[in-house]
């Protein structure tokens, strides 16, 4: 079990390590190999990584399963690629917590000045053909020897052994360093938040049955965006505002005429000038949020959390204002209650920051709240927002009318 968790956290560590120089690089798991890094231009593998975690200290064996099964896995994976040439052959890495002994081909395949592919290949061929070798790797060694000499040389040239990797219990310090988390009172909490997000992403990367939950890969940009969100939460960092508010044109306002966001305001008798004012917040909040998502200033997960916070504020206002609504109350009075709900909700939304402890332009919260009202006829119960005391029933009729 520790080995599987190690693979997951090693993928996070490796992605964080690359993120500073290769922001668009992507990672995936358990397709061609334990961990893969992809070229974002054409989605071809740049690196196939085998993860081997052993709690007990000890040498990495020349005849052991950790190496030879990794080799067999690489041979199978490369068959699925369209004839890799010398330039397109992915890097093949074995990351092991054990140590490669001196004078072994494993040591000769480490990165650095002492790397010696020719001698490593010759020694590998000796080990592969040893009839006294362990039965557990016999098929894997035979598979290697079935390759042509040129293929064996090309394969071995692509292999890198990274031995002496930190064990599971020592990964946190390496992760914090690569993520740029400096020692502070909140360092461990921030790291735990990032790891919690990452495990959720890993589940989606490993999903194979439900296409709606499946995630093909994760970009380094996504990781760094989430890191900035979490660190910003503890530092009270504000998001940049790139949109400039101005009154919408009549054509822009007309474009929203049939949207539920406007219909909801009509249900409470809001005049045209106030509808236009609220639509301005909605319009520019949508644009700003899209810009943040596009430029990796915020993640969809944080926006979802934020909408949950906004919904809580709306619910507080809605329940307080509707607790005295009677069955015999006139429609005019119901609309008046709805206007009070809208005003209270907008005040609360304006004071709800996207990053706790930071400052967010008031129209972001107000416009985002209108975004929830625009989805009230399709949203799940825990996200539906409305102004009229009977908005739920009105939305139901609205949907039925549209379907007809």
3-state secondary structure string across 181-236: CCCCCCHHHHHHHHHHHHHHHHHHHHCCCCCCCCCCCEEHHHHHHHHHHHHHHHHC
Please tell me the distance from the alpha carbon of residue 354 to that of residue 349, in angstroms, as a whole number: 10
Assign 381 a pLDDT band (cuts: 50, 70, 90): low
Please tell me the distance from the alpha carbon of residue 229 to that of residue 194, in angstroms, as a whole number: 10
Does residue 380 carry a pLDDT above 70? no
Assign 85 a pLDDT band (cuts: 50, 70, 90): very low
Question: Which residues, including other chains, have CB under 8 Å from residue 103's CB and lie 6 or more apart?
Answer: none
Hey, where are the domains in the chain? Answer: 2-181, 250-403
Q: What is the pLDDT of residue 379?
A: 63
pLDDT tens per residue across span 192-215: 999 999 999 999 999 989 888 899
pLDDT tens per residue across span 207-238: 989 888 899 999 999 999 999 988 887 777 78
**Average pLDDT estimate for 87-105:** 91
**Average pLDDT estimate for 289-302:** 90
C-alpha distances in Å from residue 31, one per residue of 25, 46, 71, 158, 380:
17, 14, 16, 19, 34
The angle subtended at Cα 283 by Cα 282 and Cα 289, nearest 5°, is: 85
Q: What is the pLDDT of residue 84?
A: 45
**Average pLDDT estimate for 23-35:** 93
Question: Which residues, including other chains, have CB under 8 Å from residue 320's CB and lie 6 or more apart?
Answer: 344
Q: Shortest CA distance to 223 belongs to which of 395, 23, 3?
A: 23
The residue written with tokens 């909490």 in the block is 189
Please tell me the distance from the alpha carbon of residue 98 to that of residue 52, in angstroms, as a whole number: 8
Buried b (16+ CB within 10 A) or exposed e, 108-132: bbbeeeeeeeeebbebbbebbeeee
Q: What is the pLDDT of residue 234?
A: 79
Does residue 86 carry a pLDDT above 70? no
Q: What is the pLDDT of residue 117?
A: 96
Assign 87 a pLDDT band (cuts: 50, 70, 90): very low
What average pLDDT is seen over the chain?
91
Does residue 378 carry a pLDDT above 80? no
State in Å, rounded, how far the first CA of the chain is from the last one: 54
**Average pLDDT estimate for 245-271:** 95
Angle between helices 260-267 and 362-373 (to 10 degrees): 90
* Cα dihedral 307/311/313/315 (nearest 10): 180
């Amino acid at each position: 079990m520790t080995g599987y968790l190690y693979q997951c956290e090693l993928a996070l560590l490796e992605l964080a390590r690359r993120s500073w120089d290769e922001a668009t690089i992507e990672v995936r798991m358990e397709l061609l190999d334990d961990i893969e890094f992809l070229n974002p231009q054409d989605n071809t593998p740049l690196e196939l990584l085998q993860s081997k975690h052993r709690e007990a200290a000890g040498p990495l064996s020349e005849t052991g399963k950790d190496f030879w099964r990794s080799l067999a896995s690489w041979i199978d994976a490369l068959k699925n690629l369209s004839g890799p040439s010398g330039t397109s052959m992915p890097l093949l890495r074995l990351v092991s917590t054990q140590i490669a002994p001196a004078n072994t081909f494993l040591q000769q395949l480490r990165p650095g000045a002492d790397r010696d592919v020719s001698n490593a290949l010759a020694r590998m061929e000796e080990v592969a053909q040893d009839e006294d070798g362990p039965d557990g790797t016999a098929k894997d060694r035979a598979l290697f020897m079935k390759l042509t000499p040129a293929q064996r040389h090309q394969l071995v040239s692509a292999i890198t052994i990274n031995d002496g990797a930190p064990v599971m219990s020592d990964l946190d310090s390496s992760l914090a360093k690569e993520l740029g988390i400096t020692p502070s009172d909140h360092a461990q909490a921030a790291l735990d938040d990032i790891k919690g997000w990452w495990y959720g992403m890993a589940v989606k990367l490993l999903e194979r049955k439900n296409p709606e939950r499946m995630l093909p890969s994760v970009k380094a940009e996504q990781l760094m965006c989430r890191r900035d969100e979490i660190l910003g939460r503890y530092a009270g960092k504000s998001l940049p505002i790139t949109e400039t508010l101005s009154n919408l044109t009549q054509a822009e306002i007309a474009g929203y005429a049939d949207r539920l966001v406007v219909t909801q305001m009509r249900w409470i008798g809001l005049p045209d000038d106030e509808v236009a004012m609220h639509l301005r917040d909605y319009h520019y909040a949508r644009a700003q949020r899209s810009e943040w998502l596009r430029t990796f200033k915020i993640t969809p997960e944080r926006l979802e959390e934020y909408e949950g916070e906004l919904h809580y504020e709306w619910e507080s206002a809605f329940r307080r204002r509707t607790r005295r609504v009677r069955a015999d109350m006139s429609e005019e009075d119901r609309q008046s209650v709805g206007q009070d709900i809208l005003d209270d909700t907008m005040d609360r939304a304006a004071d709800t920051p996207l990053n706790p402890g930071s400052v967010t332009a008031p129209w972001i919260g107000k416009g985002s709240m209108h975004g929830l009202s625009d989805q009230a006829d399709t949203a799940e119960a825990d996200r539906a927002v409305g102004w009229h005391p009977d908005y739920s029933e009105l939305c139901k009729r609205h949907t039925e009318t549209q379907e007809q």
